[in-house]
Each structure stands twice: as C-alpha cells, then as structure tokens.
Structure 1
Amino acid sequence: MYKIAVLLTCFNRVDKTLACLENLFASVPDNMVLKVFLVDDGSTDGTGVSVREKFPQVQVIQGTGSLYWNRGMHLAWDTAANTDEFDYYILLNDDTFLYPNALEEVLTCAIEKDNNVVVCAAFCSEETKKFTYGGQTKKGEPVIPNGTIQECHSINGNCLLVPKKVHDSVGNLDPIFPHAIGDFDYGQRAMANGFKLITTKRYLGTCESNDYLPKWCYSNVPFKERLKALYSPLGNSHPKYYFIYIKRHFGLGLALKHMLSIHLRLLIPNLWKQ
C-alpha cells in the first residue's frame, strides 16, 4: 500500500476546487492511501469552508492571502513532509481534472523507472483534446503522449508525482518564487541531482490553457499598467525571479539577455507577435 500526499493551493475558484477534489478521490486505486493538504490562500468565496464540509478528510491550511501558487504549494508540501512519511508526493492544480486512471498511471510510470524520475502528467483541452500542459522539449515544444514514457527537459506543475527518493535529494519547491517559475525550477534541480523528467504515456485529464499573453505584452495597455503587470507576482516573467531562475540553471549571460529582452518588450510590445 502506497502512502501519497497530494498538495494543492487555491484562491477563489470554489467550484473548480471542489470538482478537482471530486475527480481526485474518484481516481484512487486500491493500492493507494491519500492524504490531501490544501492551502486556502485567503479565499473570500468560501472555498475553505466548502472543502471542509464536502471533503472532511482534506487538511485545509490557511494561507496569508499573499502566497500565490508556488509559495502556497511550498507550504502544503512543508506541512505534509512534517506530518508523516510518504512514499510519493503529488502536486496538483485545482483547475486540473483527472481521469479515473490518472493516479495509477503516474505511479506505474515512476515504478517503471525505479522512482528515479519526476513524473509530469500530460493534459489536454476537454473541447479540442489537444495538448495544453505537461512536459516540454529543450526547445520548449510540447511532448505529446504517444503510448510510451518520454523524457522532458522542463515540466508544468499541473500534476507532478515526486517519489520520496527525489524529495529526499531535491527537497521542496523554492519559496523564493512567489507564483510562477517554481515548477520549472524544480524540474531543473531534479535533473541537476541526477533524476530524469518524464511524461505520461497518455493524457491523464483535462486542463484548459490560457491562450492570452500577460497584460504587459499588449501595446493597447497603457505603459504604467504594463509595468505594474510585469512586476506583479502574476506577471509570469517577473524580472527579478526570472533572472534568478535563468542565472541559476543557464548562466549569467542568458539571464542578462532575457532581462533586457523582457524590458524591451515592455517598452515596445509591437516588436513581438500579440
């Protein structure tokens, strides 16, 4: 029997959070025992209350309201690791809806590789059935499921399975990143510690992609608003944190190049396709 900690963080999307948990519990095979740790980061829509009522087995952790995704997931992971010993940790986004065989599939992939991997589940759009989130190649192209285990160079954190041996070596997400980048950073750290990143043999659920660029990329947005959006924790490429990530894994030269290109795009968005 495998003991698995499932980690989530949420903010003000109660219906999606409840649907995510419902699908999660419907996908638990007989050889797993789940303990779910969910950070409610200051929701005002009753998310925490609703989760406690409908899923009393979930441990709801109250956030500060300023954790965002990565720091919320770090808190959930830290709480889990200090609560019990687990064979695996699963990072799960609350807008990600698992198919019934999803947990069995990610576990099987990890075991096939002797648990020397981080397993990144692949997801598609419910409407189009096309790839939305999962692993990417070194060129940033999606790794499309083809019925076999494939290696990746970077990973989205929509659903990741991290074996105990990986956690013992790599540790938690780095809380220096507030919202984005933490999942990419974790993948690079795992590879630096000798582990591989792999994706699942098939799509394991649905998660709709955000087809819009960040607000700071659009020329019709006033400059002050673009600047504020870029330096928001939700800006995806916050210059400070993106610089840290790129310098840490790819060198100072590339970090400086990206720092300049990000601010050039901020100043002249029309130079890029919108």
Structure 2
Amino acid sequence: MHKIAVLLTCFNRANKTLSCLENLFASIPEHTHLEVHLVDDGSTDGTGDRVRKEFPQVNVIQGTGSLYWNRGMHLAWETASKHDKYDYYILLNDDTFLYPNALQEMLQCALIKDNNVVVCAAFCSEKTGEFTYGGQTKKGHPIVPNGTIQECYNINGNCLLVPKKVYDLVGNLDPIFPHAIGDFDYGHRAVAKGFKLITTKRYLGTCESNDYLPKWCYSHVPFKERIKALYSPLGNSHPKYYFIYTKRHFGLGLALKHLFSIHLRLLIPNLWKQ
C-alpha cells in the first residue's frame, strides 16, 4: 500500500480547481491511499467552500492571500509532513488535468529507478496535442515523451512525484521564492544530493501553456508599468529571487550577468525578440 500526499495551492479559479480534483481522484491506482492538502490562498470566488462541499475528504488550508504558488505549495507540503508519514509527495497545479493512468505511470517510473528520482510528468495541450510542460534540457528545450524514461535538467512543477527518500534528504520547497523558480530550484537541489530528474514515458494529462512573455518584456508597455511588473511576485524573473537562484546553483558571475541583462531588457525591450 503506497501512501501519497497530493499538494496543491489555488487562487480564484474554482472551476479549474474542481476539475483538477475530479481528474485526480479518478486516477488513483489500486493499493494506494491518497490524501490531498490544498492551500486556498485567499480566493474570493468561493474556491475553498466549493472544494469542502464537493470534496470533503480534501484538507483545505487557509492561506494569507499573499503566498502565491511556491509559498502556497511550501505551506501545503509542510502541513502534510506534520499530518502523517507518506511514501510519496505529489505536487500538482490546479490547472493540470490528469489522465486516468497518470499516478500509476509516475509510481512505476519511480520504482524502476528505486525511488532515487524526482518524476516530472509531461503534459500536452488539449487543443493541439503538443508539449506544454514537463522536463527540459540544459538549453531549455522540451523533453517530449518517446516511450522511454528520459533524464531532465530542469523540471516544471505542474506535476512532480517526490519519493520519501528524496524528501528526507532534500526537504521542502524553499519559501524564499514567492511564486516562480521554486520548482527549478528544487530540481537542482535534488541533483546536488545525488538524485536524478526524469520525465514520464508518455503524456499524463493536459495543461494549456502561457505562451506570452511577461509584461515587462514589451516595449509598448509604459516604463513604470514594466518596473512594477518585473518586481511583482508574479514576475517570472524577479531580480532578487532570480539572483538568489542563479548564484546558488551557477555561481556569482552568472548571477551578476543575468541581473544586468534583465534590467537591460527592462530598459530597452526592443533589443530582444518580442
């Protein structure tokens, strides 16, 4: 019997959250006990209440309204780890919709590698069938499923399976990051402890991609708005947190280079392709 904790954080997209949970509970393999810990980070659309009503087995944790993705997931993970001892933790985005075989596939991949891995599920677009999220190469190219287990350099946190032996050495997501970067950081921390990052042999569900650049990258956006967008917790390359991440894993030189290039792009967006 595998005991699994599924971790989610949500904010103001109740219908997607409920659809995500519906698919999740439809994908539970045999001989598996699954418990869900979901942070409702101050939703005003009734997400938390609707989850409690339609999925009373879910442990809904009330957030502060300022946790965003990474800190919300950290809280869910911290709560789960204090609640019980689990064989696996699964990080799941609430806009990610699993196929019925998804959890079984992830468990099989982990067991093949003796649980010395973080398993990153691959997802495609429901509209096009093309890759959207999952593992990436060192150059940032997507690792498209090909029927075999493939190693990754970076992992998207849309759906990750973390075995207990990985959690025992690597721990939780680092709450220093508010929204983005925490999944990439976790992957590199796991590798530093001797674990591998792998992606699944096939697509395990659908998740639509956000193909647009952050607001601060566009020249038509007024400069003050670009500054505000860059330094927002939702800015994917927030200078402070991206500097911490880059220095931690790649050294001070590259961190300083990226710090300069981010601000150069802020000042002169037309230097980059838009």
Q: How does 1:83-232 map to 2 (within 5 A)?
A: 83-232=83-232
Q: Deviations over 1:50-105 (max 9, x none)?
A: 00000000000000000000000000000000000000000000000000000000
Shift of 1:135: 0.3
The answer to whether residue 2 in structure 2 is matched with residue 6 in structure 1 is: no
* Counterpart for residue 37 of structure 1: 37
User: Which residue identity does 2:221 align to in structure 1?
Assistant: V
3-state SS of paired residue (2:42): coil
Cα shift at 1:31? 1.7
Q: How far did 1:266 drift?
A: 0.2
Indicate the residue corresponding to 2:234 in structure 1.
Answer: 234
Aligned residue for 2:249, secondary structure, equals helix
Structure 2 Cα separation of the partners of residues 219 and 139 of structure 1: 26
Using the alignment, how far apart are the partners of 1:114 and 1:252 within structure 2?
A: 35
Q: Report how far residue 244 of structure 1 moved.
A: 0.2
- Please state if 1:74 is matched with 2:74: yes
Shift of 1:215: 0.3
Partner of 2:48: 48
Secondary structure of the residue aligned to 2:180 is coil
Gap regions ≥5 residues in structure 2: none
- Residue 83 of structure 2 aligns to a residue whose secondary structure is coil
Whichever residue aligns with residue 252 of structure 1, its letter is L
Shift of 1:201: 0.0
State the secondary structure of the residue aligned to 1:219.
coil
What does residue 264 of structure 2 align with? 264
1:239-250, aligned counterparts within 5 Å? Answer: 239-250=239-250
Tell me the secondary structure at the aligned position of residue 104 of structure 1. Answer: helix
Alignment partners' CA distance in 1, 2:186 and 2:222: 35
Q: Which amino acid counterpart does residue 189 of structure 2 have in structure 1? A: R
- TM-score after normalising by structure 2: 1.00
Q: Which residue matches 1:65?
A: 65
When the two structures are superposed, what TM-score results if normalisation uses the length of structure 1? 1.00
Q: Percent identity?
A: 84
1:265 aligned partner, one-letter code: R
**RMSD (Å) for aligned C-alpha atoms:** 0.3
Task: Please tell me the residue identity of whatever aligns with 2:166.
Answer: V
Give 2:210's aligned amino acid: N
Q: CA deviation at 1:38?
A: 0.1
